[in-house]
Amino acid sequence: MTSAEHVALGAYLLGALDPRERAEVETHLSSCRRCRDELADLAPLPGLMSRITVDEAISGPPPVDDAMLERLLTAATRERRTAVVRRRMLAVAAAFVLVGGSVGGVAVYRSATAQTSHSVDAAAGTVRMHVEMTAASNGTALTLQLSGVPSEEHCQLIAISDTGAREVAGSWEASYTGTAVIHGTTAIPYQHLRKLVIETYDGVDLLTTNV
């Protein structure tokens, strides 16, 4: 049923036949519809195969191991614990706000007792931001809820320390409508973080707030 020419199609497709055999296959193809269909069916494969190197073809994709999973689970546990602390801090902060009030359109909800986490709400023009800052071992973790940025705008979050050092803490493209949640990190330690700026890639300041 399967002719020698048919079986040679694979080597033909991969360019492994010598010129004489190649000519034979081509002659056969001109008169065999089944082989032409088979060839058309297999034709996309060399293009896909070219996506990987010979090493990847031999060894397969890089393996993941259990140690990676363990680290992931540990990180999630740590994060859940932080979230519990943050909720407690926010409860304290909410109580504080009743006394603290707001300053010039920018309400600063900062707990007098919170040492590792607090949040700030700020607005400028149409842009509104709620940001939670949490002390992390390597700096400060930031979770931003943002709305009112023109869509398609490429933005970045800049963190500024008490010494004036600036650091990009996150970047994103505003392809959303409504509210977006962005996670960022900065190497600036929590207690030294003073200001956050949201600006476009062109350097247009959309919002600046003290934290």
Partner 1 sequence: MVVSGAEDTALRVLYEQHAAPLLSYALRLTGGDRGRSEDIVQETLLRAWRHPQALDPQRGPVRSWLFTVARNVAVDAHRARRARPTEVGDEPLALIPAADDIENALDSWLVADAMAALSNDHRAVLVETYYLGRSVAEAAAVLGIPAGTVKSRTFYALRALKLALEERGVTS
Residues near partner 1 (CB under 8 A): 6-11, 13-18, 21, 41-42, 44-46, 48-49, 51-54, 56-58, 60-64, 68-69, 71-73, 75-77, 79-81, 166-172, 181, 183-187
Query: Residue 73 class from Cβ within 10 Å (0-12 exposed, 13-18 middle, 19+ buried)?
Result: exposed
Shortest distance (Å) from residue 21 CB to partner 1:
8
Query: Residue 49 class from Cβ within 10 Å (0-12 exposed, 13-18 middle, 19+ buried)?
Result: exposed
Smaller CB separation from partner 1, 110 or 195: 195
Please tell me whether residue 140 adopts helix, strand or coil conformation: strand
Which residue in this structure is represented by tokens 């008169």? 31
Smaller CB separation from partner 1, 7 or 95: 7
Smaller CB separation from partner 1, 49 or 95: 49
Please tell me whether residue 142 adopts helix, strand or coil conformation: strand
Smaller CB separation from partner 1, 126 or 183: 183
Smaller CB separation from partner 1, 44 or 105: 44
By DSSP bridging, strand 153-161 and strand 139-147 are unpaired
Shortest distance (Å) from residue 155 CB to partner 1:
12
Shortest distance (Å) from residue 86 CB to partner 1:
13
Contacts of 170 (CB under 8 A, 6+ apart): 142, 144, 156, 157, 182, 183, 184, 185
Cα of 153 vs its chain's centroid, Å = 17
As a whole number of angstroms, the distance between CA 146 and CA 125 comes to 13
